[in-house]
Structure 1
Amino acid sequence: MLLAFDVGNTNIVCGVYKERKLIRHWRVATDTLQTADGYAALLGTLFQLSGLAFKDVEDIIISTVVPPIIPILETMSQRYFHTKPIMVGPGIKTGLNILYDNPKELGADRIVNAVAAIAEYDCPLIIIDMGTATTFCVVDTKGNYLGGAVAPGIGISMEALFQRASKLPRIELVKTPKIICRNTVSAMQAGIYYGFVGQIDEIVNRIKEELNEPNVKVIATGGLATLIAKSSKTIDVVDPMLTLKGLLVLYEKNKNDRR
């Protein structure tokens, strides 16, 4: 089995592959103060509840945008799974032609998403990942990674509003039936929800115009993708497991180099 980690600033998505099939996946909080033993204990519980065993894990691949967590997960991998994990980063084979000014600046999550989308869908593509940040990645008809845009994520924007406006409460994000609301909570929900829908559609339309590809496929992933897609006019496909799919593709491209 392959154990894959997609480590974001807020959450870690873990997936277990058996013969290329994703058989289990979990989402846990990212905690750089957690120890290798602590993460192993958490995984042990999840494995046990799912009827899995550490001894069946043959390899591990990790994508992270949180550098402090790298030594923690590396130690856990070696101590409990007896393997040195593949880290997504410089030197790894991606098959991706990155036309960034400095390719080393590109986050591992954006690379993994692009690799997965190219393998799964026809180019050209716009890939939107709604995580701590909302990222937009653009792939042209030849499969070249052109670049994209980065905006503040929905979650941190909501939290900033709560922290900086003393009379506004912390809220759950839902789709409101109306934009003209008659109470504070609904008004905040409407403003945030439809504001981000509008942001996403505007950025996608501008990318299409700049790319001169009106029929480009738009793929959305991330925790809030399904909710936002309900009102978006530009999102074509919601793929919650896109990053885990990309990690499998990258593992298969690199596994023979470390044997």
Structure 2
Amino acid sequence: MLVVVDMGNTNITMGLYKEDTLIGNYRLTTKLQRTSDEYGFMILSFLQAYQVTVEDIKDVIISSVVPKIMYSFTNSIRKYFHKEPIIVGPGVKTGISIKYDNPRSLGSDRIVDAVGAYYSHHCACLVIDFGTATTFDVISSNGEFMGGAIAPGIGISAEMLSNRAAQLPEVAIKKPQHIIGKNTVEGMQAGVVYGYIGLTEKLIKEIKKQYSEPLKVISTGGLGRMIYHETDLIDAYDKDLTFKGLKIIYDMQKRD
């Protein structure tokens, strides 16, 4: 079995593959102060929930955009699984050609999503990952990462609104019943959600206008489903896109 790990700024998500089938997933909050033992016990608990033992795990592959927690996390893999994890980064084969000014500055999460989209759909894609930040990335029909746009995530947008305006409360990110809010909470939800739909649609249109190939638009990430249901410009939502990308990258290493 294979454990795939996506370490983001807000959450760490883990998936469990049995051959080519994703049989389980687990999410925990990203915290900088956890020890390798804490991570180890969390991962063991995840496996136990699916009646999987340490001996069943063949490998672990990790994508991370949070360098500060990598030492503790990778040590937990070595200590509890007796494995050297594969880290997505320079030197790891991805099957994607990076057409970026400085490829080393590109987050591994964006590369992994590009791999998942391109090798799942086999066409030019625009991948939108609704995470802490929202990324809009273009992958050509030849499997080239062409670049993209980065916007503040919808969660950050709502958080900054309440943090910077003393009389505005924290609100749940959900579509309100009316765009003309009848109270402060509804008004904030309308502005954040509908405003973000508008941001998403505008970026999709401008990217398609400037790029020569037809693009299949694929969304992923925690809030990707909500935005997907509110616009006709996103062709598909894939909550497991990052896991798929990690599995594809792992298989490429094993074929070499």
TM range, normalised to the smaller chain? over 0.9
Deviation at 1:177, TM superposition (A): 2.9
TM-score (norm 2): 0.97
Equivalent in the alignment of 1:106: 106
Number of matched residues? 256
Equivalent in the alignment of 1:126: 126
Query: How does 1:155-170 map onto structure 2 within 5 Å?
Result: 155-170=155-170
Structure 1 unaligned spans of 5+ = none
TM-score (norm 1): 0.96
Equivalent in the alignment of 1:5: 5
SS of residue matched to 1:175: coil
Equivalent in the alignment of 2:243: 244
Query: How does 1:81-160 map onto structure 2 within 5 Å?
Result: 81-160=81-160
Is 1:76 matched with 2:79?
Answer: no
Contact 2:95 2:143 (C-alpha < 8 Å) held by counterparts: no
Equivalent in the alignment of 2:208: 208
Equivalent in the alignment of 1:175: 175
State the Cα deviation string for residues 135-170 of structure 1 (Å, max 9, x = none): 010012222111000011111111111111111111
SS of residue matched to 2:180: coil
State the one-letter code of the partner of 1:218. V
Give the direction of change, closer, same or farther, for the CA distance of 1:141–1:256 in structure 2 (3 Å limit): closer
Structure 2 unaligned spans of 5+ = none
Deviation at 1:133, TM superposition (A): 0.3
Equivalent in the alignment of 1:232: 231
Equivalent in the alignment of 2:27: 27
- The 2-side partners of 1:94 and 1:81 are apart by 25
Contact 2:5 2:12 (C-alpha < 8 Å) held by counterparts: yes
SS of residue matched to 1:189: helix
Deviation at 1:256, TM superposition (A): 5.5
State the Cα deviation string for residues 210-246 of structure 1 (Å, max 9, x = none): 0033x41100000001111111231110000000000
State the one-letter code of the partner of 1:57. I
- The 2-side partners of 1:45 and 1:247 are apart by 22
Is 227-236 or 123-132 further displaced after alignment? 227-236
- The 2-side partners of 1:2 and 1:72 are apart by 20
- The 2-side partners of 1:212 and 1:205 are apart by 13
Deviation at 1:10, TM superposition (A): 0.2
SS of residue matched to 1:246: helix
State the one-letter code of the partner of 1:68. K
State the Cα deviation string for residues 106-159 of structure 1 (Å, max 9, x = none): 100000000110111132110000000000100122221110000111111111
Deviation at 1:35, TM superposition (A): 0.7
Give the ranges of 4+ consecutive aligned residues of structure 1 lying more than 6 Å apart after TM superposition: none
State the Cα deviation string for residues 69-90 of structure 1 (Å, max 9, x = none): 2111210111000000000001
State the one-letter code of the partner of 1:255. K
Identity of aligned residues (%): 46
SS of residue matched to 2:43: helix
SS of residue matched to 1:161: helix
